[in-house]
Amino acid sequence: AIVLGIETSCDETAAAVVVRDDSGRGAILSNVVRSQFDEHAAFGGVVPELAARAHVEWLDHIIAQAVEEAGIALGDIDAVAATAGPGLIGGVLVGLTTGKALAAALDKTLIAVNHLEAHALTARLTDEVQFPYLMLLVSGGHSQFVLVRDVGDYERWGGTIDDALGEAFDKVAKLLSLGHPGGPAVERIAREGDPERFRFPRPLLREERLDFSFSGLKTAVRLKAEALAPLAEQDVADIAAGFQAAVTEIVATRSRQALARFRTEFPEAEPQLVVAGGVAANARIGAALRETAGAMGARLVVPPAALCTDNGAMVAWVGAERLALGVKDGLEVAARPRWPLDTPDMKVETDAA
Ligand code: ATP
Ligand code: MG
Ligand code: FE
């Protein structure tokens, strides 16, 4: 099946065309992303109203470009998949309404996609990954371990009790005046820094639970930056490196514990850790997780960076996976600002499959 995917839940206006064959293999025919850097640059963060307006302005062009680059006609698609949440509600409405209009006009199936499921299933588009697997979702709004049993079947094993990891990167970048989005900027400058000059706290690390806490760490970084002000370039690099070292150790330690639980609960299954969400693009964290997975005899899957941050291909892919199971959504489906993965309405009724 050929699926058009639409993503507008945050500050990326994105559309893509993906195909999935009957054996479950996927291919990306096009993947067009427009990030709203300029719109939000002056504000040090995403301004929801401005984001929604930029989606309105750009989405039609982005969809047209995705269809053209895919080398297909709009009528060739089998389904339209659009993010229906969670996210900034104005933006979600723009994408979902556009998706509904296209589906209705073309008389194609509509699939309302949970953005977190899109992050969760991306690894099955880029690699051959079978269920079940353990997912570490680390994005701008979420940081959690999720057991992925099947399409629509998720169990949350733990997560952040305060800030998301991407959010922590963004806040640290902001207080170091590195701009937005902060993750890539912190990673870049941390390469020039000494990760051992400052030892930042590792909250909760000693406790045996699969939870994260990043807000105290962020405060420690702020206090250090204030104490050293005005910051020399080397100070900024050392603070960034120290912060990145702390979160890397936290994430790697927790992943080892989560993999141990996975092995206990699924002794027959191949232990697999899939990393998803924008922070999965971080090379330092990726390297540490590779080591952890290796030590646990587990397979690590990290999709390419461009598919870890928000994009339309991941949304189209969920559409394709759900379509293959006989899912279709009605035009009345609502946009949702909050939509956890482990809610019962994510489940697929499998009589068709
Ligand atoms: P959610 O998916 O939870 O709704 P979101 O869609 O805004 O949130 P993503 O697009 O998945 O989040 O990820 C964006 C986040 O990833 C930002 O916080 C950004 O700073 C972070 N990020 C991107 N690249 C890197 C990197 N190289 N290192 C660390 N963090 C990164
Ligand atoms: Mg974004
Ligand atoms: Fe996201």
Give tens-digit pLDDT for 7-30.
999 999 999 999 999 999 999 999
pTM metric for this prediction: 0.95
Edge-to-edge strand list for the sheet holding 143-150 = 153-159, 143-150, 133-138, 272-276, 299-301
How confident is residue 67, by pLDDT bands cut at 50, 70 and 90? very high
Instruction: Give per-residue pLDDT as tens, 121-175.
Output: 999 999 999 999 999 999 999 999 999 999 999 999 999 999 999 999 999 999 9
Q: Which protein residues are within 6 Å of ligand 1, measured from CB?
A: 10, 87, 115, 119, 139-142, 166-167, 169-170, 181-184, 187, 277-279, 281-282, 309-310
How far is Cα 95 from Cα 72, in angstroms, rounded to an integer? Answer: 21
- Distance in angstroms (rounded) separating the CA atoms of residues 160 and 300: 21
Rounded to whole angstroms, the Cα distance separating 86 from 99 reads: 16
Does ipTM top 0.90?
A: yes
295-318 residue pLDDT tens: 999 999 999 999 999 999 999 999
Q: 122 is written with which tokens?
A: 């991306």
Say yes or no to pLDDT of 59 above 50. Answer: yes
Q: Which of 7, 8, 9, 10 to mutate to test the pocket of ligand 1 (most atoms within 8 A of CB)?
A: 10
For residue 296, CA distances in Å to 255, 289, 290 come to 10, 10, 10
Other CB atoms within 10 A of residue 333 CB: 15
> What number does the ligand 1 atom closest to the CA of 173 have?
20
Helix axes 283-295, 233-265, angle to 10 degrees: 30
- pLDDT value at position 45? 84
Q: What is the pLDDT of residues 177-217, one digit of tens each?
A: 998 889 999 999 999 999 999 999 999 998 889 999 999 99
Which residue puts its alpha carbon closest to atom 3 of ligand 1? 141
Percent of the chain at pLDDT > 90 equals 93
Binding site, by residue number, is 115, 119, 137-141, 170, 183, 187, 282, 310
Atom of ligand 1 nearest to the CA of 142: 3
pLDDT of 352 over the 60 cut: no
Q: How far is the CA of 294 from the centre of ligand 2 (A)?
A: 30
Q: How confident is the model at residue 351 (pLDDT cuts 50, 70, 90)?
A: low
CA-nearest residue, atom 31 of ligand 1: 183
Nearest ligand, measured from the Cα of 183: 1
DSSP secondary structure of 318-331 = HHHHHHHTT--B-T
Give 60's pLDDT tier (boundaries 50, 70, 90). Answer: very high
